């Protein structure tokens, strides 16, 4: 069954102002945002898949459809990821960035990546540490440090074995399976980082599956419609630290925001962010040149930390823009606030799933789409930031 055949095109304008929701009881000691502006969706009823569509609550499905169509962002609660794990992931990430620069630079992604050769080597790409300003968005340096982690494929994974039997060096087109062969440069100075990320990944993949059941139902599809798209997900985690700035720093010509305005290229993003982060993640509320934003500050609802979730470009493509891939940016925290740490989890398809990514192109593997995005990112860095 082709998904596009089931969906009717709908415009992509932000159609109504986000409603305001007040959150309920808050665990002592956890930060509180009393006035969140994005919809809050409870996914606890999508925890299991062994039911017929009728089993799932209509009102939640409608609320989710509305959020995806009109906002593109929502707060997910009932996602199943324990608060303690979310907070521990942020804490170990802060410890990672607190390591000396000389240590962090031993794990620099530029050491493992030759931008001119991505897709033609046997070296993997993109994983590891990026220093302040190394990422570029809209021709300006982003004011953050990052550590990118990609799914590692098992030694006997079919894509790895296929790649091993291919002479990619002589291929004319970049081989997306190069993504499949890399290993993350886990810092040996902080062994708990790898362990914590492994736990975080397992829990976030389950949350992703939960949310995708809701999204399938919200599109009028069978609850398990997307399961085979994700059962071997090539997920990505970005660990990020945004330093706080004063007024003079924030006007630098070379640097833009903590992260410049963009939409996410992939499927579905979950942001786990410091609970004291205020007014940093900005969500664009219109498509006109006079941009307006709402702030997606962290919220805690009935003692659970919500995950800020947004639709990426691929869901938007395959739903013919019915679901919005909303632009957003991260504004640096203002001093005297401390730096902000976030660990967005990008819930992505299997590398070898075929997708119709846009109307003019024929179907391609998700891996092909991804490798082109990554190559463009590195080209931006080379051409425009230097
Ligand atoms: O740090 C965040 O809150 C979000 C970062 C982001 O938008 C991204 O990495 O795509
Ligand atoms: Fe993003």
pLDDT above 70 for 24: no
pLDDT above 70 for 124: no
From the CA of 307, which ligand is nearest? 1
* The token pair that represents 262 in the structure block: 């963009």
The verdict on the CB of residue 341 being under 6 Å from ligand 1 is: no
Instruction: In whole angstroms, give the CA distance from residue 105 to residue 107.
Output: 5
Instruction: In whole angstroms, give the CA distance from residue 90 to residue 242.
Output: 13
pTM for the full model? Answer: 0.89
Question: Is residue 284 included in any domain, yes or no?
Answer: yes
**Beta pairing partners, 73:** 310
Largest distance between two CA atoms of the chain:
61
Question: Is residue 24 included in any domain, yes or no?
Answer: yes
- If one residue of 94, 242, 269 were mutated to test the ligand 1 pocket, choosing by the most ligand atoms within 8 A of its CB, it would be 269
What value does the mean pLDDT take over residues 314-318?
94
Nearest atom of ligand 1 to the alpha carbon of 238: 9
Instruction: In whole angstroms, give the CA distance from residue 149 to residue 186.
Output: 9
pLDDT above 60 for 384: no
pLDDT computed for residue 123 by the predictor:
64
Question: Is residue 386 included in any domain, yes or no?
Answer: no
Question: Is residue 91 included in any domain, yes or no?
Answer: yes
CB neighbours of residue 360 within 10 Å: 5
What value does the mean pLDDT take over residues 167-195?
85
Q: Residue 222: helix, strand or coil by DSSP?
A: coil
Whole-number percent of the chain with pLDDT over 70: 83
Nearest atom of ligand 1 to the alpha carbon of 240: 1
Instruction: In whole angstroms, give the CA distance from residue 224 to residue 139.
Output: 41
The verdict on the CB of residue 268 being under 6 Å from ligand 1 is: no
Count of residues in the chain: 386
Nearest atom of ligand 1 to the alpha carbon of 277: 3
Question: Is residue 212 included in any domain, yes or no?
Answer: yes
Cβ-based neighbours of 55, under 8 Å, separated by 6 or more: none
Domain with residue 177: its CATH number is: 2.60.120.330
The verdict on the CB of residue 273 being under 6 Å from ligand 1 is: yes
The verdict on the CB of residue 238 being under 6 Å from ligand 1 is: yes
pLDDT computed for residue 180 by the predictor:
78
Q: Count structural domains, the chain.
A: 1
Nearest atom of ligand 1 to the alpha carbon of 258: 1
Q: What is the CA(168)–ligand 2 centre distance, in A?
A: 31
The verdict on the CB of residue 159 being under 6 Å from ligand 1 is: no
What value does the mean pLDDT take over residues 249-255?
83
pLDDT computed for residue 346 by the predictor:
98
Near ion ligand 2, which residues have CB within 5 Å?
264
Give the domain range for residue 44: 3-380
What value does the mean pLDDT take over residues 261-288?
94
- If one residue of 146, 148, 237, 259 were mutated to test the ligand 1 pocket, choosing by the most ligand atoms within 8 A of its CB, it would be 259
pLDDT above 80 for 216: yes
Q: What is the CA(63)–ligand 2 centre distance, in A?
A: 23
pLDDT above 70 for 39: yes
What value does the mean pLDDT take over residues 356-380?
78
Task: Round the average pLDDT of the chain to a whole number and report it.
Answer: 85
What value does the mean pLDDT take over residues 82-98?
98
Q: What is the CA(191)–ligand 2 centre distance, in A?
A: 28
Least confident of 120-124, 151-155, 324-328, 366-370: 120-124
Instruction: In whole angstroms, give the CA distance from residue 226 to residue 49.
Output: 12
pLDDT above 70 for 47: yes
* The token pair that represents 152 in the structure block: 């590692």
The verdict on the CB of residue 146 being under 6 Å from ligand 1 is: no
Question: Is residue 385 included in any domain, yes or no?
Answer: no
Instruction: Extract the runs of DSSP E, i.e. beta strands, from 152-263.
Output: 236-242, 259-262
pLDDT above 60 for 324: yes
The verdict on the CB of residue 281 being under 6 Å from ligand 1 is: yes
pLDDT above 80 for 69: yes
- When pLDDT is cut at 50, 70 and 90, the band that residue 178 belongs to is confident
The verdict on the CB of residue 212 being under 6 Å from ligand 1 is: no
The tally of CA atoms less than 13 A away on the side-chain side of residue 386 is 6
- Inter-residue contact 264 to 360 (CB < 8 Å): no
Q: What is the CA(130)–ligand 1 centre distance, in A?
A: 15
According to DSSP, the β-strands at 259-262 and 236-242 are unpaired
- When pLDDT is cut at 50, 70 and 90, the band that residue 31 belongs to is very low
- When pLDDT is cut at 50, 70 and 90, the band that residue 81 belongs to is very high
The verdict on the CB of residue 296 being under 6 Å from ligand 1 is: no
Q: Hey, whose CA ends up nearest to atom 3 of ligand 1? A: 281
Instruction: In whole angstroms, give the CA distance from residue 354 to residue 369.
Output: 10
- When pLDDT is cut at 50, 70 and 90, the band that residue 164 belongs to is confident
pLDDT above 60 for 304: yes
pLDDT computed for residue 97 by the predictor:
98
pLDDT computed for residue 238 by the predictor:
98
């Amino acid at each position: 069954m082709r998904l596009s055949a089931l969906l009717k095109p709908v415009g992509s304008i932000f159609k109504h102002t986000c409603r305001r929701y007040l959150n309920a009881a808050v665990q002592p000691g956890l930060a509180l945002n009393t006035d969140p502006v994005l919809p809050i969706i409870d996914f606890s009823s999508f925890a299991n898949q062994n039911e017929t569509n009728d089993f799932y609550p209509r009102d939640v499905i409608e609320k989710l459809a509305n959020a995806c169509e009109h906002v593109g962002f929502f707060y997910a609660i009932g996602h199943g990821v324990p608060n303690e794990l979310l907070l521990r992931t942020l804490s170990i990430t802060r410890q990672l960035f607190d390591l000396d620069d000389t240590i962090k630079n031993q794990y620099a992604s530029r050491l493992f990546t030759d931008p001119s050769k991505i897709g033609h080597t046997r070296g993997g790409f993109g994983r590891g540490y990026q220093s302040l300003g190394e990422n570029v968005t809209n021709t300006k340096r982003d004011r953050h440090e990052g550590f990118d982690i990609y799914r590692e494929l098992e030694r006997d994974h079919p894509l790895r074995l296929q790649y091993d039997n291919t002479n990619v060096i002589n291929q004319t087109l970049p081989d997306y399976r190069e993504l499949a062969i890399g290993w993350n440069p886990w810092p040996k100075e902080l062994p708990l980082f790898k362990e914590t990320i492994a736990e975080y990944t397992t829990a976030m993949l389950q949350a992703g599956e939960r949310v995708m059941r809701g999204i399938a139902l919200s599109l009028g599809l069978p609850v398990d419609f997307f399961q085979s798209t994700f059962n071997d997900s090539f997920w990505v985690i970005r660990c990020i630290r945004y330093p706080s700035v004063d007024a003079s720093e924030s006007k630098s010509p070379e640097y833009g925001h903590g992260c410049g305005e963009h939409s996410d290229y992939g499927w579905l993003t979950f942001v786990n962010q410091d609970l004291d982060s205020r007014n940093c993640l900005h969500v664009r509320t219109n498509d006109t040149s006079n941009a307006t934003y709402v702030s997606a500050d962290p919220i805690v609802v009935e003692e659970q930390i919500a995950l800020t979730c947004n639709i990426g470009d691929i869901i938007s493509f395959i739903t013919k823009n019915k679901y919005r891939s909303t632009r957003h940016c991260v504004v640096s925290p203002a001093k005297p606030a401390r730096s902000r740490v976030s660990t967005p989890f990008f819930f992505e398809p299997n590398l070898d799933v075929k997708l119709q990514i846009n109307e003019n192109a024929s179907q391609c593997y998700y891996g092909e789409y991804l490798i082109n995005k990554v190559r463009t990112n590195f080209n931006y860095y080379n051409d425009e930031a230097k």
